[in-house]
Every structure is written in C-alpha cells, then in structure tokens.
Structure 1
Amino acid sequence: MAQRKENIVQLTSAHPALDNRIFFKECVSLARSGYDVTLIAPHTKNEVVQGVRIIKLPVFKNRLVRWLTNPLLVFFKAIRQRARLYHFHDPELIPVGLALRLFGKVVVYDIHEDYVSSIQQKEYLPKSIARMTAPIFGCLEQLAANSFQQIIAEKYYSRRFPHSIEVLNYPKIDKLPPPATSHEGDSPRFIYTGNVTVNRGALIHANIVNLLPTAEVHFVGHCTHGLVARMQAIAGQNRSRLFFHGVDRYLPFSEIESFYQAGAWTAGLAIFPDVAHYREKELTKFFEYMAYGLPIIASNFLVWRRLIEGHSSGICIDPADTKAIVAALHQVSLPQQASTMGKCGREAVGNYLWQGQEEKLLGFYRSLLH
C-alpha cells in the first residue's frame, strides 16, 4: 500500500479513457493501492470511475487536429493538478513530458509500441514517407526518453531503452475464469479479439469462411466500416458467416470478456501477415485465449512459436500457406486435440497475468516518490 495519498496524473491523448492497459490495469491498480489518481484522456465527460478521476479531453476523429490541439490542452490541464509525478502514454505527448520536466516534475514515459516499426505499417501514411520518417522519429524518441523514467510494455523494447522497467501487458484476470464452452458440431466457430486491421490478419481471417464451408468467424474489436466492406468482399457469397462486433466503435474489455464467456468457440485466431512490427510481440490476446481454454491458431513467428507451441496451447503456421491454414483449422476442430491444447494453455497462463506486473508498477512508483 502507498504510505500516503500521493497525487499522480496519467496522460493520454491517443487512447480512450477506459483503455485496458492505461485505465483498468495501471490507474485502477494505483488507486486501489492508495494513490490519488487523475487520468487526463479523451472522454465524453469528467467523472470518477473505480476511484480514478477522469478529466476529459475532446474526442477528435481527425488525427491532424488531435496532434495540433491536444498536447497544449494536456499540458495546461496537467500542470493545474500540481502533482509530483506525471505518467504519459503517447509519443505525441513527448513535448508535454519535456515541459513538465522543466517544472521539476517526475515524468514517466510508458512505451506501448515499437514506434519505429509501427510508423512503417501505418495504413494512412504513404510508404515512402513512413520509411523516411521512422528512423528520424526513432532517434528523436530515444534522445527525449533520456529525460524521463521509462516503462516498457514488451520485453524486446529493452534493446532501444536499456534503462527501462518492464511492466508487461498481461491480462488482468483476478480469478481464472471457467473455460469457455468448447464448440461441438459440424460448424466450427472461430473468434478474433482486439483491433481489426489488415496488418493484424483481417483479410486472412475473413478468407477462412471460404476455406471451411460451414465455419463462422467472429471479430470482437474495433473495425472500420471500410475494412468490413473489404472483408465481406473477400468472403463473397459466404459473407453471412462473418460477424463483426465493434464496427467503428471501441469495445471495453468487459464487453470482449462477455464474448469469451459466451463460449462455444473452436479456437482463437491471430494469423497475422509477416509484418516486422508484430514478430516479437507477445499479444495480450494469446493469454486471454489461454485463460479461457481456447486453442490458438497463430502465425509462425519465432517468439510466437516459443510461447504457443512451447506450452502446447495451439498451432503456429505460415500465414501465406493456405494449405497449412486449412490443416490447422481442421486440427483444432477435433475435440480431443482442442481439449488438450485448451488445458495446456490454462495451466500455463498463471505465469502471464497482470498481478505480477502490478507489483512491479507499484514498486517502481514507490522508488520514484519515497
């Protein structure tokens, strides 16, 4: 427990206020530990949720408007809080962090992404601009980060930020849930959770309904209506077996969790095309699938294979090999094999839960403030 009620402020201009990592994991954990937590974030109103005071920012749909407007708004709202420690989550807020350092504040930069590779896979940036911009941003980010305390959400980010503290993005599951009901019958049902994008396998997953004549694929997470149309076009006459739960809207984890609990899933999907940005990531959805006893079908990136096949909790395949995808889909549809993979995942997931990361976060805060 915190020794005194220290006021700390978390800042984001790019994530929704009720973001799973920022709000439900970090802010709620800090508030329960005795800190007075304020979150300045895009939201519809000022309110207190689970002991966290949310100060709203405008919700901008236009990125350029957000980039030009929110940093200044964030700074003035933040400095009014008169906190000792500020914790920000977006690279666009690096100038805000530097300004707060000039005021003598302790500033934490929470690095969610490998932004150098992330920039190169942004669909809204022309490839030539992305290739030119990424290394320049990388150098500037590393220089600026030396002014801050650093938290990283993935192990491999330590190569760029060797003095950082790992607070990994493991799922927050207070008690291991009952396993999702396994699907039985001739119509396998596959689930994908999280943001739906081309680089996260949207087109590969949509094609599954063409590969298996009775399969359903459910997408539980934000997906633009434009991408929905592309995926339905790929499915063609089989589009009625694609289901989208989150078109043009953000889904809080509580809603995603309700889909897991609904059960009757054959397997969880993460068949991503070979994009450098994802090769070394340990996706949070892997651990969620494990917790709910779902076999996993994922791309055969080395880090993913070590995690998934190392725990015998799923199958990793070449995302460009259609025959391998079909074979994997058939394999997880066999009840005995699916049951074994699901049990192995549930046995392993205890090593990958938020509770252990929460202790690291609280210890880090204690070291900075006391």
Structure 2
Amino acid sequence: METKKRVVHMTTVHHPYDPRIYHKQCKSLEKAGFDVTLIARRDPKGNDGDKTINHVLLKTYKSRLRRMIFGTYDAYKKASALNADIITFHDPELLPAAWLLKKQNHVVVYDIHEDYITSIMQKEYLNGQVKKIAVSGYKLLEKFFTKGMGLSLAEKYYEEMYPDGVWILNYPTVNEKFIEHDRTGKVENKVLYTGNVSHVRGARYHAKLPVIDSELSVHFVGKCPGDLAREMYEVAGEQKNKLHIEGIDSFVEKEVIEKRYLERNWLAGVALFPPTEHYKKKELTKFFEYMNAGIPVICSDFPVWKAFVERYECGIAVDPEDDEAIKEALDYLKNNPEEASKMGRNGKKAVKEELNWQTQEYKLIRWYNGLLNQELSSGTGEEV
C-alpha cells in the first residue's frame, strides 16, 4: 500500500481557519490524497474546524516580538519533527525557520499572501527613511532565505517581484448555495462589506455612506478593532445607528460570512478603498465573493479595479473621495433594478466559469506532485 505524501502548512500569524490556508489549500490537498498537517495557533473561540485536518497547536503570544522569536522557533521544531515531504509556510517571520527546514532537504514552498514591500511602505508608524531601510533589508533577507524554494503567488501582479513564482490565485470556492440563490423581490437599502476592517481598507469611507445617503445602512462582517469601530461611529455621526459592525475585536468565521450573504437582498457589496500602492493593483478576494453571491460591486476607480468591473460588467467604479459620484452609483442601482440584477448575474457567471478556486486547486495539486518528483516549476504562473 502506497504511503500518503505528507504536506505541512505552518503559520504563526494567520487564523488557523484562514480561508486561503485551511479551507482552500489544506482541504484541496487532503481531497487529492495528501496527508495534511496544519501548524498554527489555537482558534481563540475554541472551534475545532471539521477535524479532518490534523492541527498541531502553537502557543498564542500577546506580544508580537515574542511570537516572532518563540513562535517561529516552536513552528520550526514542530515542522522538523513531522518528516514532511513538502512544507508550506505563510508568513515572512517564518523565513529563517523555512530556510533551516530547506537545509534539512525538505521541499519548501513560500505562499505569498501579500505584497509585503508596499505593506511596509504604508505603515503609518514608520517615518520615510525607516521605511526605505526596512524595505531594503526585507528584500535582501527574503532573497537570501527563499533561494531554491517554490514561490506560490496569490495575486497576478506579484509576478513583477517574483518572476519565478507560480500563480495560485486567491479565487473563491464556488458556493453552490450562492449560485442557486435567486435575488428576487425588493432590494433593500443596505450594502455589505466583508473581511477585515481597517483604515487602508476604507473604514472611514464606508462609515460615511449613511451620511452620503441617509436611507442607507452599512453592514460590516469581519474583524474590526474596537477603537476603529468607535472612530467609524463618530464619522457616521447622527447616522451611526445605520452602521452594523459584526466582528468587533473578534475573527468572523467563513461560514458566518457566507450566511450573511444570503440573509438579505443587498443593494451592493462595497470596496471603497483609499489609493495605496498596496491595494490598487490587487483583484480583491471580496470582489469574487460579492460576484459569487450575485451582488453588484461598488468599488474605488483604480485603473485595475475599474477595468475588472467593466470587463465582467458586474459593478460600478467611483472616486472614493467624491461623495456625489458615490451617491449617483447608489441611486443608479436603486433606480435600475433590472440592470443591477444583470450585474449580479454577470458576476455569478464569471465566478462559476472562470474566477473560482477549482481552477487553482488543479494547478496547486499538479505543481505539488511535480515538486515531489523534484521538478520544481519555474517561470510565470499561467501554466504550471
């Protein structure tokens, strides 16, 4: 009987049931016949997932520095003891641990979730010179530690920085409940925002929407720091009762978010972000999720985002600083229900046929099988 090949995923930063790590990669590899182990901290809520993925627990540290030092060492020791065929890590702070594991002749993959260079550059608590030094240092360390590793890219434009990387894009798992759900009946004056809430993800813009349109309420489903929630209520002022924030200081599970999509006949899914280098080239995961649910998208008019919604005819791109343009977009969807419904159908069709995790699952499994045969793929990610 052939022994299953063991794949280990490790993260010190992400939630153990992170959608990309757990629900997509781990489950896809398990379904394909791999023995999958996740090394991650415990879910703060004590949930055990579906218990089909072996979960090796890491200690939870309140201090970021202690986590980076002791958590990284703990992850290294636990991964080293598992005799894995492939080890995939998901956080830059694990680079030294991954390098040591590579030295032990493990096949190692770095799954790059973020554009960490622009992420550093937008840190408000660092001054300009410190940012430049930090970016230069990070580039050198990353180049040194990742030599000989496989690079998995969650976004197409990451290829600019990692030309040898492989696209394993962060498309959504097609939710058949969403596909089957028929958006009939009167559309409510309610818009939805899903995912983590932060300044750089447009928290203040979204909080201002009930001020722009007093008939509108905004529903946030995703982790939101308590101090930011208070700031958002202040931005909304007399309309603060129109803000509904689910996830204040608390991670919101994927299953809860999916349930919210189906509970109402939403006017739109919103993604009004301020212009930052970190986001303006991204194809946001929330776009795909709004589309999967058949909800029109209202987003910032960054060239990449505008081209995306126009290509798939699934929403409206507006200047996030232009209140009048935002109001016009909201009114257009209210006053043209047939066109709004068509945008929703177009989005569903695009996700079902093209923009879905199943297309990436196939590439991931084929690539990992190639790695096990010591055929490390190189080049761009359209073909693996």
**Alignment TM-score, normalising by the size of structure 2:** 0.91
In the alignment, which residue of structure 2 is the partner of 1:85?
86
Give the drift of 1:47.
Answer: 6.1
Q: Which amino acid aligns with 1:77?
A: K
Secondary structure of the equivalent of 1:28?
helix
Q: Report SS of the residue matched to 2:148.
A: coil
Please give the alpha-carbon distance, in whole angstroms, between the structure 2 residues aligned to 1:48 and 1:197: 26
User: Greater shift after overlay, 318-327 or 237-246?
Assistant: 318-327
1:338 aligns with 2:340: yes
Which of the numbers 341, 355, 370 marks the counterpart of 2:358? 355
Q: Which residue of 1 aligns with 2:18?
A: 19
Structure 1 residue 124 displacement after superposition: 5.0
Q: CA deviation at 1:180?
A: 6.1
**Contact 1:201 1:272 (8 Å CA) reproduced:** yes
Aligned length: 367
Deviation at 1:123, TM superposition (A): 4.6
Could you tell which deviates more after superposition, 116-125 or 290-299? Answer: 116-125
Deviation at 1:51, TM superposition (A): 2.1
Aligned amino acid, residue 92 of structure 1 = E
Distance 1:369 1:113, change over 3 A: same
Which residue number corresponds to residue 103 of structure 1?
104
Q: How does 1:300-311 map to 2 (within 5 A)?
A: 300-311=301-312
Identical-pair percentage: 39
Assess if the C-alpha contact under 8 Å between 2:174 and 2:351 holds in 1: no
Verify: 1:39 aligned to 2:38, yes or no.
yes
Contact 2:99 2:146 in 1 (8 A): no
Partners of 1:14 and 1:102 in 2: how far apart? Answer: 23
Structure 1 residues 292-307: aligned runs within 5 Å: 292-307=293-308
Which residue is 1:156 aligned to? Answer: 157
- Deviations 1:324-356 (Å, cap 9, x if unpaired)? 111111112221221121122112222100001
Matched with 1:120 is 121
Name the counterpart of 2:317: 316
1:297·1:316 contact (CA, 8 Å) conserved in 2?
yes
Give the CA deviation at 1:56: 0.9
User: SS at the partner of 2:298?
Assistant: strand
* Structure 1 gaps, min length 5: none
Query: What is the root-mean-square deviation in Å for CA atoms of aligned residues?
Result: 1.8
Alpha carbons 1:84, 1:105 under 8 Å: kept? yes
Letter of the 1:178 counterpart:
E
* Separation of aligned partners in 1, 2:150 and 2:121: 26
Which has the larger displacement, 167-176 or 21-30? 167-176
- Give the distance between the partners of 1:183 and 1:232, measured in 2 at CA: 31
Describe the shift of the 1:184–1:38 C-alpha distance in structure 2 as closer, same or farther (beyond 3 A): same
The alpha-carbon distance between structure 1 residues 212 and 157, as it changes in their structure 2 partners (threshold 3 A), is same
1:197 corresponds to 2:198 = yes
Are the structure 2 counterparts of residues 179 and 301 from structure 1 closer, same or farther at C-alpha, using a change threshold of 3 Å? farther
**CA 1:263/1:46 → structure 2, altered by over 3 Å: closer, same or farther?**
closer
Task: Report which stretch shifted further, 33-42 or 333-342.
Answer: 333-342
Q: What is the alpha-carbon distance in structure 2 between the residues aligned to residue 49 and residue 100 of structure 1? A: 29
Q: Which aligned pairs between 1:246-257 and structure 2 lie closer than 5 A?
A: 246-257=247-258
Amino acid paired to 2:369: R
Residue of structure 1 equivalent to 2:378:
none
Q: What is the TM-score with the length of structure 1 in the denominator?
A: 0.94
Q: How does 1:261-276 map to 2 (within 5 A)?
A: 261-276=262-277
Q: Which secondary structure state, in structure 1, belongs to the residue aligned with residue 278 of structure 2?
A: helix
The change in CA–CA distance for 1:260 and 1:100 in structure 2 (over 3 A counts) is: same
Q: CA deviation at 1:261?
A: 1.1
Q: CA deviation at 1:274?
A: 0.4
Q: Which residue of 2 aligns with 1:280?
A: 281
Q: Distance in 2 between matches of 1:257 and 1:367?
A: 34
Query: Residue 14 of structure 1 contacts residue 90 of structure 1 at CA under 8 Å; is this kept in 2?
Result: yes
Distance across 2 between alignment mates of 1:147 and 1:329: 50
Partner letter of residue 254 of structure 1? E
Amino acid in the other structure paired with 2:359: G
Partner of 1:139 in structure 2?
Answer: 140
Aligned-pair CA distance for 1:148: 0.9
Shift of 1:61: 3.2
Residue 68 of structure 1 and its aligned partner are, at CA, apart by 2.0
AA in 2 matched with 1:159: E
